[in-house]
Amino acid sequence: MKGTRLRIVAVAAFACVLASLACSNSTAVSAVGKLSAKVVDANNVGIQGANADLYKLIGGGALLWRASSTSSDGIAVFGANEGGVIAGDYYIHVSFITNNQLAAGETNDKQVTVKEGDDLVVTFHAVSTGPGL
């Protein structure tokens, strides 16, 4: 009798766990949007090789969320392999390993809010600082 009762309790507990998992939102997909940084020169030509870092704003601070580099068209796509980035507030910081810098009056650390379904491009203007490599 004791063994039968124990089996009934175990089976009931297992059924409760399965029902809970089946009804939970643990498999829900997070809302995603597409986000890119574009770095161009004075003629709106893309600059290749700029670093673009995406920081997610969390609480009172920020966390490096994704990092990318601009391709030959000057565009760096964040989260391309994951289908985008989750909805939220971010800022983008660009830096250069080439002979470029942000143009006069251009600001870095541009804030952006990504919502589900967005396809956003944040543009940065840069200028050459000297001869190429």
Count of other CB atoms within 10 angstroms of residue 56: 17
Each of the 133 residues of the chain gets a pLDDT tens digit; together they read: 555 554 554 445 454 444 444 444 444 567 799 999 999 999 999 999 999 999 999 998 999 999 999 999 999 999 988 889 999 999 999 999 889 999 999 999 999 999 999 999 999 999 998 775 5
Name the amino acid, one letter, at 112.
V
Burial of 10 (0-12, 13-18, 19+ CB in 10 A): exposed
pTM above 0.85, yes or no: no
Q: Mind listing the domains of the chain with CATH numbers?
A: 32-128 (2.60.40.10)
Structure tokens at 41: 């020169």
In sequence order, what are the beta bridge partners of 89?
113
